[in-house]
């Protein structure tokens, strides 16, 4: 069977080498072009399935348009820096399949390429099943994992049981929990254990990350001429997910006008592309995630009550890491092994005092924050054993800071209210991290292991957003 062909365009040598090795490792045939002219020449001579292009500014939308015109059915995926985010959005308006914002992890690049291949009809040529198992092994059935989840805590064991009961049903699932608790991994696990859908597409939609003006087109697709820049018909994520599973991440951010259309898909399994009157049928399982209290949003008229009841048929709550710390050693070992392998380092493990330090910390960013901390430690380590010097100061200083900050009668301070007593350390920690990074919210969110939307929500919750904005 022929391999799927991918063309890399306009990457610097180091990034190009890294992408080339990654994609070849997972069974793709890869070529590269150091300029747009070289890329256009290659596209006129050879058929590619996916074009992966680097963009650096708004002028690069012209490059994307030229590439799209020459691709003969191939999908264009662009990589953008935060400074080129607008160019990424503009690229999608003129036909790019998707844009990824740096820094981006390998698994996200691979999953986006697989989704693009599904759209081109080249799914039979994509990653071989053997290589696909290698890729997904870091999420599924690896080491101390079960259905891609890691842990022996009672709450996690209960989730294992729930997965077995619901995987082969058609039920819509709502996964709730704080940012970084593993909601996406759980969604993958449910899909992989659905005997009917496991070999069909798994399509992710980050509702909170998509600009409002393109989210309807992203979900439902559009026809040529539907709006300015719609130069071709384009399938939406629901069409791409047909037969499989669609993950609607941060569903609480979905605009009210689109909630009505989503409700129709849930009830009648049908929709229309933007600008088209033809009704399309779809067979797709919907999994939604949220880190918000949706029932509260319903009360506040910010989320449709009828939609809430439709997505809340099966509800699973992911516990924060601070409430299942017995699993922290398993998670830490898993991430050490993962990033040691990715960075070609011979890390034997973590020192005992490091594990004690990690166990004392409260982990407001949950598993994602732990993963980021371990990845950093693996990269910085020079002794083949992770020690406290490899950890960020916010982790190693946490215990001493906590003692000094609670030296008074904390129960008096919060009038014996447990919720307030638990929230105050999080507020203090967020402000401390913001101060460390010079009040840069993007850097703070990265360091905390949460997205910027979550950070803004936390700042509003603690009534400190205006003070932070003034810094």
DSSP letters spanning 451-468: -HHHHHHHHHHTT-HHHH
The mean pLDDT value for 23-48 works out to 87
Least confident of 85-89, 308-312, 381-385, 426-430: 85-89
Please tell me the distance from the alpha carbon of residue 224 to that of residue 218, in angstroms, as a whole number: 14
Length of the chain: 471
The mean pLDDT value for 34-38 works out to 88
The mean pLDDT value for 169-195 works out to 92
Least confident of 40-44, 79-83, 94-98, 297-301: 79-83
DSSP annotation of 383? S
Least confident of 203-207, 249-253, 407-411, 434-438: 407-411
Q: What is the pLDDT of residue 183?
A: 95
The mean pLDDT value for 446-464 works out to 82
Q: What is the pLDDT of residue 314?
A: 94
pLDDT for 315 beyond 80? yes
More reliable by pLDDT, 420 or 450: 450
- Three-state DSSP class for residue 387: coil
Q: What is the pLDDT of residue 338?
A: 85
CA distances to 86, 115, 260 from 59, rounded to whole Å, are 11, 26, 36
Least confident of 110-119, 245-254, 344-353: 110-119
pLDDT band of residue 114 (cuts 50, 70, 90) is: confident
The mean pLDDT value for 387-403 works out to 73
Instruction: Determine what percent of the chain is predicted with pLDDT higher than 70.
Output: 84
More reliable by pLDDT, 267 or 402: 267
Least confident of 125-129, 199-203, 307-311: 125-129
**Listed residue (298, 287, 272) closest to 216, CA to CA:** 272
Task: Enumerate domains of the chain plus CATH numbers.
Answer: 5-133 (3.40.50.2300), 139-317 (3.40.50.300), 322-469 (1.10.8.60)
Q: HSE on the CB side for 307, CA within 13 Å?
A: 23
More reliable by pLDDT, 295 or 13: 295
More reliable by pLDDT, 109 or 72: 109
- Three-state DSSP class for residue 56: coil
Q: What is the pLDDT of residue 283?
A: 94
pLDDT for 246 beyond 70? yes
Please tell me the distance from the alpha carbon of residue 53 to that of residue 9, in angstroms, as a whole number: 5
CA distances to 71, 213, 318, 342 from 191, rounded to whole Å, are 32, 29, 17, 26
Q: What is the pLDDT of residue 59?
A: 57
CA distances to 150, 269, 361 from 379, rounded to whole Å, are 23, 47, 21
The mean pLDDT value for 298-320 works out to 94
pLDDT band of residue 125 (cuts 50, 70, 90) is: very low
Q: What is the pLDDT of residue 272?
A: 92
Contact assessment for residue 321 and residue 366, using Cβ atoms and an 8 Å cutoff: yes
- Three-state DSSP class for residue 180: coil
DSSP annotation of 392? -
**Listed residue (335, 345, 352) closest to 384, CA to CA:** 345
Backbone angles phi, psi at 176, to 5 degrees: -115, 150
Q: What is the pLDDT of residue 471?
A: 64
pLDDT tens digit sequence for 425-441: 777 788 888 888 888 88
Q: What is the pLDDT of residue 52?
A: 92
Please tell me the distance from the alpha carbon of residue 49 to that of residue 27, in angstroms, as a whole number: 14
Contact assessment for residue 460 and residue 452, using Cβ atoms and an 8 Å cutoff: no
pLDDT tens digit sequence for 126-180: 444 333 333 233 333 333 455 568 888 888 888 988 998 998 898 999 999 999 9
Report how far apart the first and last C-alpha atoms of the chain are (Å, whole number).
Answer: 58
DSSP annotation of 222? B
pLDDT band of residue 193 (cuts 50, 70, 90) is: confident
pLDDT for 209 beyond 50? yes
The mean pLDDT value for 208-236 works out to 86
Please tell me the distance from the alpha carbon of residue 65 to that of residue 82, in angstroms, as a whole number: 21
DSSP annotation of 319? P
Q: What is the pLDDT of residue 121?
A: 63
Please tell me the distance from the alpha carbon of residue 259 to that of residue 303, in angstroms, as a whole number: 8
pLDDT tens digit sequence for 64-95: 888 888 877 788 898 876 555 566 667 777 77
pLDDT for 103 beyond 60? yes
pLDDT band of residue 402 (cuts 50, 70, 90) is: very low
**Listed residue (287, 285, 187) closest to 244, CA to CA:** 285
Q: What is the pLDDT of residue 271?
A: 92
What's the mean pLDDT when you consider all of the chain? 81
Please tell me the distance from the alpha carbon of residue 236 to that of residue 244, in angstroms, as a whole number: 14
pLDDT band of residue 282 (cuts 50, 70, 90) is: very high
């Amino acid at each position: 069977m022929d391999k799927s062909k991918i063309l890399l365009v306009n990457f610097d040598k180091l990034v190009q080498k890294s992408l080339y090795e990654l994609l070849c490792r997972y069974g793709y045939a890869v070529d590269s072009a150091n300029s747009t002219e070289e890329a256009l020449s290659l596209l006129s001579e050879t058929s590619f399935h996916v074009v992966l292009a680097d963009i650096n500014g708004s002028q690069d939308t012209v490059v994307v348009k030229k590439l799209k015109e020459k691709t003969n059915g191939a999908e264009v995926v662009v990589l953008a820096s935060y400074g080129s985010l607008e160019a990424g959005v503009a690229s999608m308006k003129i036909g790019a399949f998707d844009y990824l914002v740096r820094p981006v992890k390998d698994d996200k690049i691979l999953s986006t390429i697989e989704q693009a291949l599904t759209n081109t009809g080249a799914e039979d040529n994509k990653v071989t099943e053997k290589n696909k198992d290698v890729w997904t092994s870091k999420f599924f059935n690896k080491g101390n994992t079960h259905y891609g989840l890691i842990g022996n805590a009672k709450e996690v064991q209960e989730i294992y049981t729930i997965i077995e009961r619901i995987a082969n049903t058609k039920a819509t699932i709502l996964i709730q929990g704080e940012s970084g608790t593993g909601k996406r991994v759980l969604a993958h696990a449910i899909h992989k254990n659905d005997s009917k859908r496991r070999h069909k597409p798994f399509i992710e939609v980050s509702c909170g990350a998509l600009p409002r003006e393109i989210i309807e087109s992203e979900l439902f697709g559009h026809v040529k001429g539907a709006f300015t820049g719609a130069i071709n018909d384009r399938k939406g994520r629901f069409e791409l997910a047909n037969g499989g599973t669609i993950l609607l991440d941060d569903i609480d951010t979905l605009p009210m006008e689109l909630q009505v259309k989503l409700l129709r898909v849930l009830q009648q399994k049908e929709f229309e592309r933007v600008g088209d009157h033809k009704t399309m049928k779809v067979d797709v399982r919907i999994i939604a995630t949220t880190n918000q209290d949706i029932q509260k949003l319903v009360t506040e008229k910010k989320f449709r009550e009828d939609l809430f009841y439709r997505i809340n048929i099966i509800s699973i709550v992911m516990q924060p890491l601070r409430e299942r710390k017995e699993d922290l050693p398993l998670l830490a070992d898993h991430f050490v092994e993962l990033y040691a392998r990715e960075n070609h380092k011979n890390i034997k493990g973590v020192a005992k005092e490091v594990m004690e330090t990690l166990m004392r910390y409260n982990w407001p960013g949950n598993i994602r924050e732990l993963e980021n901390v371990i990845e950093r430690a693996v990269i910085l380590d020079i002794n083949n054993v992770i020690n406290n010097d490899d950890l960020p100061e916010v982790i190693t200083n946490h215990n001493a800071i906590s003692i000094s900050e609670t030296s008074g009668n904390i129960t008096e301070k919060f009038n014996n209210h447990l919720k307030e007593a638990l929230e105050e350390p999080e507020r203090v920690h967020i402000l401390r991290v913001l101060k460390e990074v010079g009040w840069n919210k993007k850097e703070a969110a990265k360091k905390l292991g949460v997205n910027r939307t979550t950070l803004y929500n936390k700042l509003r919750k603690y009534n400190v957003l205006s003070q932070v904005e003034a810094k």
